[in-house]
Chain A
Amino acid sequence: MKLNVLLLALSLGISSNSWAEEECEFAVDMSDSHDFEDFHNCEQVTSGLNQLLKGLADGEKKSPLQATSKAPATKLAPQKDTLELAKPERKNAILLRHQAPDSLDAQRLELLVQMTEACPQGFSIEAEEYRPRANHAFLLTYQYRCL
């Protein structure tokens, strides 16, 4: 599975330019330019308050039908109190650029470490998503839930 994901990520064909790094620089740096597309399209939702806001919004977007159709709901239901169930799903995101396989592994490991920090008791990954960006780059996001 891991190998498949790795091959998929590498086969997505990412050119070896630095645009992604520039595009995803800090919002406060992009804010002073008139590059509105970069400023408003770049994902900066990786941690802290922004991650929380994104999680809240994503939580509301799910319809009850979608929520019940997901297998993890039954898995999580026992022993969890109401407060814990109300926890929003959270995401870690990273923009995949052209890189060597071990570099991709390192980036993935970095996300796993971030999730571990957020969930000291462990976590389950509920989705691994690749969203296309300009210049054939992809944004990798994980949806996870603390155990």
Chain B
Amino acid sequence: MKNLLLPLGLAAALPLSAFADVTVYGKASVSFQSTDEAGDTTTEVVSNASRIGVKGSESLSDDLKAIYKFEFEVQIDDGDKNGETFTQRNIYAGLQSKTKGTVIIGKFDTPLKVAQKKIDLFSDLEGDIKSILTKNENRESNSLMYSSPKAWGAVKASVAYIAKEDDAVDDGTSMSIAYSEGGIYAALAYDQNVEAEDAEVLRLVTQLNFGALQLGALYEDQDAGSSSLLDGDAWMLSAKYKLGKLALKVQLGESDTSKSGAETFSVGADYILSKQTKIYTYYTHEEADSMLDDNDYAGVGIELKF
């Protein structure tokens, strides 16, 4: 309770100008799920990356503004994650110029992770590509990143430097370049020393929109170098079709980089109740050479954005 009161107390003590251009945002996403994992079947309530954040900015000149974001995950099923009520997601402060781009410092998703855009149709659910297809969906601490401005048009580039803060470990680099025009999106991304020292990852992503139909594809090649990661590649295909308030989704993929011989597929549907709220259902199957039993998940949930 004291923890809850502290932010309110701080807020009350702040001058009103501190609230200028502050926006509170987030989402609650929770599902009721049947889980068949490693031979054990359970029924769970699962919080699917529910989160709350604040963002804001201060104009420094016509072209320059200071920006910040604090975003935390909230476990609305159990109330805590490893004893923490709020766990850190993307948090940064930085400077933004309309003509020169944006520089931020903090903890945030790598450019390689963000390059997937929205082709992972089961993101934050059990079918998320990070579950079994890839180990490179990273949110790195101690990062500094430059992103190109919108003035560049259809092309966007991002480069992040990740300080490992250990003299014995090489610092990491993550970068991406993406093209987005009309219904076409394509991105190329590269990580070095991010998930592990000496490991390199190349990722290709494309998303195509044909009216109500969205198609996505991802290919990833991982060179483990001298690290304990696996050499290999991974791919994933996804499709979503909007039918009025209903969206039907299917996704499948294979990988040798996260687990040897990993395969997964998911099917699901979203039903839009309002601009803010939807209900969803999903089924995900996972298997891999190293897994004695397949994993199956089926659930129904609700998501509310604010």
Q: Which residues of A contact B111 (CB under 8 A)?
A: 34
CB proximity of A50 to chain B, nearest CB, Å: 5
Tell me if A28 counts as interface (CB < 8 A to partner B).
yes
Q: A31-B25, A37-B150 are in contact. Are A59 and B65 (CB under 8 A)?
A: no
Q: Are B96 and A28 in contact (CB under 8 A)?
A: no
For the complex, count residues of B whose C-beta is within 8 A of A: 39
Q: Are A61 and B149 in contact (CB under 8 A)?
A: no
For the complex, count residues of A whose C-beta is within 8 A of B: 27
Chain A 33-74 against B: per-residue CB contact (8 Å), 1 yes, 0 no?
Answer: 111111110001100111001101101110000000000000
Q: Among A33, A45, A54, A60, point to the contact of B17 (Cβ < 8 A).
A: A60
The answer for the CA separation of A89 and B95 in the assembled complex, in Å, is: 30
The answer for the CA separation of A90 and B55 in the assembled complex, in Å, is: 20
Q: Among A28, A32, A38, A60, point to the contact of B114 (Cβ < 8 A).
A: A32
Tell me if B26 counts as interface (CB < 8 A to partner A).
yes
Tell me if B141 counts as interface (CB < 8 A to partner A).
no
Residue of B nearest to A44 (CB): B23
Q: A44-B25, A49-B24 are in contact. Are A34 and B17 (CB under 8 A)?
A: no
Q: Are B57 and A40 in contact (CB under 8 A)?
A: yes
Tell me if A102 counts as interface (CB < 8 A to partner B).
no
Residue of B nearest to A36 (CB): B102
Q: Are B69 and A31 in contact (CB under 8 A)?
A: yes
Tell me if A81 counts as interface (CB < 8 A to partner B).
no
The answer for the CA separation of A129 and B20 in the assembled complex, in Å, is: 18
A interface residue numbers (CB < 8 A to B): 26-29, 31-40, 44-45, 48-50, 53-54, 56-57, 59-61, 134
